[in-house]
Amino acid sequence: MASDLTSSIIGHDDPARSGTASAIVTVCKTCRARHVDEDGATHYGERVGEDVSRRLAEALRALDLDGRVALADVGCMAGCGRPCSVAVQAVGKAGYLFGDIVTDEEVAAIAAFAGQHIDLEDGWCSSLQRPEALKRKTLARLPAPLPLPPLAGALREAAE
């Protein structure tokens, strides 16, 4: 199944500001609003991902990141229990997955963290260094991918 990925680089509509993105923010465009009623039953409503993505694009532009942040919408990030799911990643750096990103404050915090993430050498930071609005929204911090060993060698070692 394809991920249904669409992306844009903030600031690339202005040729004088275009460049290579240093980070990518990925938003689940299929996330639905979640409501838990008084009986504890969870109900899902309208899709909020596309609205979060639109507001995030505005917040990134407002921070004047000069085309250094790409924004991508994907079909599903499997974070349905904590909509809206948003990831911040960069090549060679730790990446972050956030959930329950809905309010303007949370969207602005994601944009601020994307700018902060660009300046982190290896992507690692403690929860105390992230914007306040994200401290209880962090679902995972993933280390930068390690180089894969040659397949033949790995299979040989496993057989021994």
Residue 160 predicted with pLDDT over 70: no
**Chain length of the chain:** 160
Q: What is the pLDDT of residue 86?
A: 98
pLDDT value for 40: 84
- Whole-angstrom distance, CA of residue 112 vs CA of residue 115: 5
Least confident of 9-18, 70-79, 143-152: 9-18
Rounded to whole angstroms, how far apart are CA atoms 27 and 55?
Answer: 11
- Measuring CA to CA, how many Å separate 88 from each of 48, 107, 119, 156? 18, 12, 13, 36
- 104-119 helix and 49-62 helix, angle to the nearest 10 degrees: 50
Phi-psi region of 64 (alpha: psi -120 to 50; beta: other; left: phi over 0): left
Higher pLDDT, 134 or 64: 134
Q: What is the pLDDT of residues 75-130, one digit of tens each?
A: 899 988 899 999 999 999 999 999 999 999 999 999 999 999 999 999 999 999 99
| Domains present along the chain, CATH in parentheses | 6-159 (3.40.30.10)
**Average pLDDT for the chain:** 84
